Amino acid sequence: MSQMLEPDLSVVELRSYFVRRRNALLVRGRFSPLYLDYYLHLMQHGIQHAEPLDQALKDGLAAIALHLGSRPHDETAAWTIHIKDPQRANLFVTGSTQPGRITGRIFTEDVKQEGEALFIAQTSRPNQTTRQSMIEFHGADIFKAVEEFYTTSEQRRTRLFRLPDEEFVQISAEPDCDEIWLTEMALEDVLELETTEHLTLLETRGYVFECGCSMERLMPIIMRLPQDDLDHIFEDGLAQITCPRCGAVFRTSKATFEEWRKKQS
């Protein structure tokens, strides 16, 4: 995947701080610019989401960006969140810091009808084995699901807060953290942190809403199909393929596909 980002995308700056005397890591950022590009993406590809699911996906995008902002630079994360309310759906969000990209989509078709709400996380770094964990969670609050994931899989207390103007804050326990302080923290406490606590700025990272997909990148998916399926999708001479990461819709002619396939041999 290219390391270059589209120059016209809106960058969300995430600032990370060390909370002295509390031994906690705080990451914060305002996501309204990224959400604008998210909605432009939906309009471009004719995608519409019901309001509760749309908000859930936006929360997932914010949460995984905050998560990445607290992790090593070379780490990639992908979360699949199976929710039961307001309807059964799978939310998929993924991202990386190098480059600073996040993307995601909603699946509502062919979603299993039984079982608990699930949070499945995959984490990968170069030259290391991909780690996967899965937990059950309660309710439909994406932030609460992420907090449960941290407690169960990451084994450290983490809190997520929704501030005005689409700003979000994540505070995670570091070794010797004052976990009573973190557990009892309320929104009004977060709003006053800059005056009540000693915050040391560690770094600033930038993230955009971008998948990086293209028709050429999705061609291998078509190539893996059996011949009968290829004949079916090209029945009208034009195949349509949907990106599994962001839901973008691409179309290609059979002649273009055959020319591409010849180049692979």
CB 163 within 8 A of CB 191: yes
| pLDDT tens-digit readout, 129-164 | 999 999 999 888 999 999 999 999 999 999 999 999
201 and 152 share one domain: yes
185 and 200 share one domain: yes
Specify if 64 maps to a domain: yes
What's the whole-number average pLDDT of the chain?
Answer: 92
DSSP E strands in 21-100: the ranges are: 24-30, 76-83, 89-96
Specify if 4 maps to a domain: no
27 and 71 share one domain: yes
Kindly report the CATH number assigned to the domain that includes residue 169: 3.55.30.10
Across residues 114-119, what is the average pLDDT? 84
193 and 219 share one domain: no
Q: How many structural domains does the chain have?
A: 2
In terms of residue numbers, what domain contains 46? Answer: 12-209
> What tokens were used for 34?
């990224």
Specify if 241 maps to a domain: yes
Specify if 2 maps to a domain: no
Q: Is the pTM of this model over 0.75?
A: yes
DSSP E strands in the chain: the ranges are: 12-19, 24-30, 76-83, 89-96, 101-107, 117-124, 131-137, 158-163, 167-173, 199-209, 238-242, 249-253
189 and 223 share one domain: no
* Rounded Cα gap, residues 212 and 183, in angstroms: 38
236 and 128 share one domain: no
| pLDDT tens-digit readout, 209-242 | 999 999 989 999 888 889 888 888 998 889 888 9
97 and 171 share one domain: yes
